[in-house]
Amino acid sequence: MEQKNSIKSETPSKAEVVADARMPLHDQFSWLHADLKYDANAEFCALVKDVTSGCKTVLELLHADSLERDADERPILSPQKAEYLMLMAMRTVEMLSDSSGRRIGIMNEAAAEAQRAKATS
C-alpha cells in the first residue's frame, strides 16, 4: 500500500503562481529600509556587506579545501577552480577598494568646497 505524505508544502506551486498574475515572480532584496533607497552612503554600506559576505564564503571554501589537501583527503576543489575563486575574490576586493576610493574623493572634494565657501563668506 502506498503511503502519502500528509505534510502540505507552504510554497505555492508554479501553477498557483502563474494563476495569480498579480504575484511577483521575484522580490528584490535590500538590506536597507525603503527610505534609504537614494542615500549614497547607505547604498555603499549595503554593497560592502554583500561583497565582504561573498568574499568570506570564498575564503572559507578555499580554507576548507586547503585543510582537506593537508590531510591527504579528497580536495573540495580542483586546483583550477581554487585559482578561479581566489582571482574572483581578489578582483572583487579590488572593485570595492576602487569604489571606496572614488567615494572618498567625492567626500573630500565636497568638504574642500564647503571650506572654500565658508572662507569666502
Pairwise pLDDT comparison (90 vs 1), residue with the higher score: 90
The runs of H, that is alpha helices, within the chain are 14-19, 40-70, 79-120
Give per-residue pLDDT as tens, 67-107: 999 999 999 999 999 999 999 999 999 999 999 999 999 99
Asked whether 32 and 43 are in contact (CB, 8 A), the reply is yes
Residue 57 has pLDDT above 50, yes or no: yes
pLDDT score at 37: 86
Asked whether 82 and 65 are in contact (CB, 8 A), the reply is yes
Pairwise pLDDT comparison (27 vs 72), residue with the higher score: 72
| Radius of gyration of the chain, Cα coordinates, nearest whole angstrom | 24
CA 36 vs CA 26, 43, 46, 49: distances in Å: 21, 8, 11, 15
Pairwise pLDDT comparison (121 vs 60), residue with the higher score: 60
